[in-house]
Amino acid sequence: MLSAIDKALAANGKFALDYDPDKVSPRPRLGLAVLTCMDTRLSLQALGLGRQDAHIIRNAGGIVTDDALRSLLVSHYILGTNEVMVVNHTDCGLMKGTEQAMHDRIEKAAGLPPNSPVQFHAFKDPEENVREQLAKLDAHSWIHSELKIRGFVFDVRTGHLSEVSR
């Protein structure tokens, strides 16, 4: 029985047969970057996106971490994006406990404490979390008005995306 990684490698072998590097670009066709949660219910199709349409930056919770910010800055300044969507969703795993409860659960499962600091960015309200992420972006000195930033919540029950007012 093939593992998930083995299946991915087999699929890549088929993909590579027709791959043409002259037909792909690191620059997103729509000039769009999306910072979103890693949840599998949030797909490219849910946003009407196809391959090469946008840079997709994913992490647990769709949080503006240092690394997500770094990626957004490269996306904008180096690779030409001019719009950013910050997308959270209902029923997020980060809404299911406090920061401390997540630490306790993982430390118990791992059998030892972390050897470097870990912050999960737990939250209770996805709309409020989107506002916090937008505020983090707005506060950064390298984020200027020519970069259009908007926030959204994806409802995992209905599939609808709702814009979050600031």
Paired tokens of 68: 């997500």
Range of the domain at 147: 25-164
Nearest to 58 by CA among 92, 24, 8: 92
Domain-located, residue 16: no
Which residues does residue 163 pair with via DSSP β-bridges, in sequence order?
152
Which residues does residue 57 pair with via DSSP β-bridges, in sequence order?
35
Domain-located, residue 42: yes
Residue 53 to residue 32: CA distance in whole angstroms: 7
pTM of the model: 0.94
Domain-located, residue 9: no
- Measuring CA to CA, how many Å separate 43 from each of 71, 102, 110, 115? 19, 25, 30, 33
Instruction: Give the DSSP letter of residue 75.
Output: I
Only one residue has tokens 């908007």, namely: 150
Domain-located, residue 57: yes
| Distance between first and last Cα of the chain | 50
pLDDT in tens, the chain (166 residues): 999 999 999 999 999 999 999 999 999 999 999 999 999 999 999 999 999 999 999 999 999 999 999 999 999 999 999 999 999 999 999 999 999 999 999 999 999 999 999 999 999 999 999 999 999 999 999 998 889 999 999 999 999 999 999 8
Q: What is the domain count for the chain?
A: 1
Domain-located, residue 12: no
Domain-located, residue 112: yes
Domain-located, residue 11: no
- Measuring CA to CA, how many Å separate 74 from each of 3, 31, 39, 43, 148? 34, 13, 23, 23, 15
The DSSP H or E segment spanning 54 is: strand 54-59
Nearest to 83 by CA among 166, 147, 135, 16: 147
Domain-located, residue 145: yes
- 140: domain CATH number? 3.40.1050.10
Residue 70 to residue 4: CA distance in whole angstroms: 30
